[in-house]
Structures are given as structure tokens and as C-alpha cells.
Amino acid sequence: DGTAVRLVDSAVAISVRTSLLPLNDEVQARLSGRGHWAAPSANEALLDFDICGLTGHHPLGGERGDVYEVGILVERPLFASYFWDLVIMNLLVMLAATAFWDTSSPDLSSRMSISLTIILTLAAYTSSRPNPIAKAPYVTFHDWGEQMCMFLVTGISVQNVVAVVKCGGQSDDAPPYMQAEFEQHQEPCELGWCLSRNVDCNGLILLLICWFGLAFYSLILLL
């Protein structure tokens, strides 16, 4: 049969990585038995992976000519659903940073309502690991991304406490001790370059430094 793949013929079964480009019937029949080839529909059966190559060899050093092992090389697509999970978590950190511009109220609860909502959302993300790493005993890159975002949002919450303690006395409705604290820290409470108070602008700079530093370190871990 001219279309049969003769796997037991070591001169015909070639151990090479083979393209997955679609082939018409004529080309497929001509290449049958001349190497490894997978139909493009094979990728459809893999939800989280893509086939990137095929290999094959006779086991046991070629002593068994009637046995031929085929290996399938797979890779996870870069822009899979788990990639967008990391993007969403970083967007949540950006949303938490909007609390830096919440200066209309002297109450800490006004700012912390934003941060705590983001923290609860991140906690929901980190409570369950994706299926491919659910049983991994070590910290994966996905776990590291979640921990990094939680650390940044926690830092934003701490900065909110500092800003309210220093500048909450700007309001006439603030308690006397907050007004006294404001009298001692008027300069940090003035309008800054970020269109918020100086203390919030400084917090924004510190957040960006930590954020980009951790992102750079994450890329080093990934590469």
C-alpha cells in the first residue's frame, strides 16, 4: 500500500520535527511513510496546548524493529486564558491605586473601601489555582504574579492610612487630633504634580517603582 506509513522500516521512519501545515491529499499521500506528520485537526483535541513537533525512534537501541515509539511535543500558547488572569490582576492593582485621588472625605473608610474591595477580589483569584498547577508543591509563576499583586494592594492600603492620618484634618468635620496632625504636616497635604496631595503623589511614585521592579524581576524568573 503506497499510502501506508511503514513505521518498522528504520530507513523510512525519520526522527525529525515535522511541520503541522495543512497538506492536500496528493501531498499527504506522497509523504506517507517519509517521516512524521500530524493532521492540523490534532490541535483541536488539545484545549490548553499546541502541538509544536513530532519525534520517533526505535526503542532499546533498535533491537526491536517491530516497535516504534512516537513522541509528541506540545507547548502552551503565550496568550492563553491564564495569561489574561495575570493581566486582570495587574489591572486590579491599577484600580486600587485610584484611591490616591480620593481626597474629598477625611474618613479612612472612604479610601479603604476601594482597597478592601480589590483585596477581596484578589483573594478570590488566589483561593483556587488553575488545574495545570493545582497539585504543584512549589510556587509557580502564576502564584508569584498573584502574590505580587496582593503585596502591592496591601502597600496601597498602608499608604491610605498614612495619608488620612496626616491630611484628614483638612476637613472641618475631622476630629481635633486629626486637625492638630494636619497643622504639623501641611506641606505633604498640598496639591502635587499628580493632581492629588503630595503624600499621595509620593505614594504613587513608590508604587510604580515597586511595581516595575517586581515586573522586571518576574521577567527574569520567566526567562
User: Looking at residue 105, what is its pLDDT?
Assistant: 72
User: Looking at residue 30, what is its pLDDT?
Assistant: 52
Measured distance CA(202)–CA(221) in Å, rounded = 29
- Cell numbers that stand for 152 in this block: 502591592
With vertex at residue 138, the alpha carbon angle to CA 133 and CA 140, rounded to the nearest 5 degrees, is: 55
User: Looking at residue 151, what is its pLDDT?
Assistant: 93
Do 106 and 178 meet the contact criterion of CB atoms below 8 Å apart? yes
In Å, the largest CA–CA distance within the chain is 95
Torsion of CA 215, 217, 221, 223, to 10 degrees: 80
> 108-126 vs 141-167: helix axis angle to the nearest 10?
170
User: Looking at residue 183, what is its pLDDT?
Assistant: 84
User: Looking at residue 11, what is its pLDDT?
Assistant: 47
What is the pTM for the complete model shown? Answer: 0.70
Measured distance CA(97)–CA(207) in Å, rounded = 8
Burial of 182 (0-12, 13-18, 19+ CB in 10 A): buried
- Cell numbers that stand for 102 in this block: 480620593
| E strands present in 35-178 | 50-57, 69-75
String of DSSP letters for 143-169: HHHHHHHHHHHHHHHHHHHHHHHHHGG
With vertex at residue 201, the alpha carbon angle to CA 199 and CA 203, rounded to the nearest 5 degrees, is: 70
How many C-beta neighbours within 10 Å does residue 95 have? 15
User: Looking at residue 62, what is its pLDDT?
Assistant: 57
How many C-beta neighbours within 10 Å does residue 62 have? 10
Taking 50 as the pLDDT cut, the residues of the chain under it are: 1-5, 7-21, 23
